[in-house]
Structure 1
């Protein structure tokens, strides 16, 4: 009888003992499940015995980690982004890396629109003030000076950076609000703008100049890291709203905070940060901790990398990640490979 396959998860994002994972993989697969952030806390013997790694977003896989998994034949990211995985190091070791892009699409698109509406309809401002005085503040808070980001969404321009699954889903939602949607994505196939009914622009600069809302839906790469910084904020409309539900490193966050404070842009809804959780001395921590009475009050919303989150989405990510790993380990079939250009040979 063949030996059991072993799957290792270093940073599990669920409380149970892998109920969905075990059901998906079958009784002949052994799971080693941990909830750590650094590799030094993981047992070396179990890492060395792993046939596959199913990883979330809190553990980095670098060259040093690759040295700890000599038996591993596949790494699967239970999620979309994979900027915390060294694609060159895994590829050089013959380990395919796959992700699960087909989960959480609706949730992230919904969250992007929710952040836009929360700012554009002053929901948090109204909630805070009615909480403090539901009678006295009920009829006194409707002037534009008090809620400067409140505006009619119909007829506004919604700019999508990245026309992939989530970008398209967000674009379709914005269209339902009567917004004109424009998109910038130099890597999207020709004609996708026709299929989705959006207007494609040739540059990021063109999108920033025209958009009332800019929503980011591209991956974090060397090309997109700090893609939006002080020069880009200066190029935006002074009442424009920036939404980031993609990756924190795409936006220069201190420059973003400074741009809102200076009036270069109207406001921002941010779900992701370059460092998570943020450090106590990060600019956005200081800003968010002192919103009351500042220009940022009502103009900045921060959520804790939760755009993807729903019970259904979490279950999908867990199931799809294990399905992807087992498809390769049992049948040699790869889906959603992300390090193919670095993968000269394969282990096993």
Structure 2
């Protein structure tokens, strides 16, 4: 773990954790110096936290609570807000910038874990491991057959289509290439030529990728452009018999459209670590069909509880990097992973 930066002058800083999680701030306390006071409000709503705590904090490290125009006027001293994870849609970037507050995220704590999870879902479908295990548990004798693997696919020579070639997308693509797969990606934000050193192929537009990919692997942020980017129209463009795997953000996929894709056979299998509403809701048509587990869908859907990021090591990295991002900025102005740079004209 990096040693905290210590100056000769003793200045006290207060970092507010508004959310109910983590359970304790022991990891965070060990990651910073004695000049920091960590306040753990353990709440889910802004109004439940004493106004004095909002007004007196120098930094905020947040997981789920929105930091928006309701909250920001009460941040009298705050200089930095850190979203303790990759996504930062709970932060109002422009409003924070208007107040002179920088916003950061922690984009790299679980890169390998999420990439591994995406590949694990692909392998689970291709080799049928989970489906055949479940079938054997139901009837060891009658189901002792390879025919219970309804999603089997040879990966060597197949096309692995990555939507979003950032840290995680690249890591997943490198793993897929080790299986002999062709790598095709779509990322309109990636500079031209960035793929050349990797030896990947670039799709000109999203439909081009969808029409060629045998496995669609999603690694996109959630914003106005990506929300429900997988919908009825885009599902119709998917190569028949493809897998779709999403370990990014739930709302980038319309689950009703995914369900129809499964019904039609356009999608052979769907693996989701994330859902539009979490925890999963029985009202979600895909979740309802997965729970019902009718023969036509059995073995074709994998759901995980937004856990792709997790390993004990990643959990420590996430919490350490989150608090140190705030701490180092307060102590010596070191700014990393700022997500509202283009909006900030003058930071506090």
Q: Give the alignment's TM-score, normalised by structure 2.
A: 0.93
Displacement of 1:258 in angstroms is 2.0
**Segments ≥4 residues shifted beyond 4 Å:** none
Structure 2 match to 1:215: 217
Which digits, 9 at most, give the CA deviation of each residue in 1:165-213, with x for residues without a partner? 1011000000011111111111112322122121111111110000000
Map 1:140-289 onto structure 2 (within 5 A): 141-143=145-147, 146-289=148-291
Structure 1 match to 2:135: 129
What is the distance in 1 between the residues matched to 2:133 and 2:223?
38
Query: Greater shift after overlay, 284-293 or 116-125?
Result: 284-293
What is the distance in 1 between the residues matched to 2:152 and 2:42?
42
What is the distance in 1 between the residues matched to 2:124 and 2:260?
21
The answer to whether residue 46 in structure 2 is matched with residue 46 in structure 1 is: no
What is the distance in 2 between the residues matched to 1:93 and 1:291?
50
What is the distance in 2 between the residues matched to 1:302 and 1:271?
6
What is the distance in 2 between the residues matched to 1:255 and 1:206?
19
Structure 2 match to 1:37: 44
Displacement of 1:292 in angstroms is 3.6
**Are the counterparts in 1 of residues 20 and 44 from structure 2 also a CA contact under 8 Å?**
no
Instruction: In structure 2, list runs of 5 or more residues that go unmatched.
Output: 1-8
Structure 2 match to 1:320: 321
Displacement of 1:134 in angstroms is 2.6
Which digits, 9 at most, give the CA deviation of each residue in 1:278-335, with x for residues without a partner? 3342223322221243x22211111111110000001001111111111111111211
Instruction: In structure 1, list runs of 5 or more residues that go unmatched.
Output: none
Determine helix, strand or coil for the equivalent of 1:182. Answer: strand
Displacement of 1:264 in angstroms is 2.3
Displacement of 1:3 in angstroms is 5.2
Displacement of 1:2 in angstroms is 5.2
Which digits, 9 at most, give the CA deviation of each residue in 1:192-242, with x for residues without a partner? 212212111111111000000000112111111111111111111221000
Determine helix, strand or coil for the equivalent of 1:160. Answer: strand
Question: Pairwise CA RMSD of aligned residues?
Answer: 1.6
Structure 2 match to 1:79: 85
Structure 1 match to 2:65: 59
What is the distance in 2 between the residues matched to 1:287 and 1:60?
32
Q: Give the alignment's TM-score, normalised by structure 1.
A: 0.93
Displacement of 1:123 in angstroms is 1.8
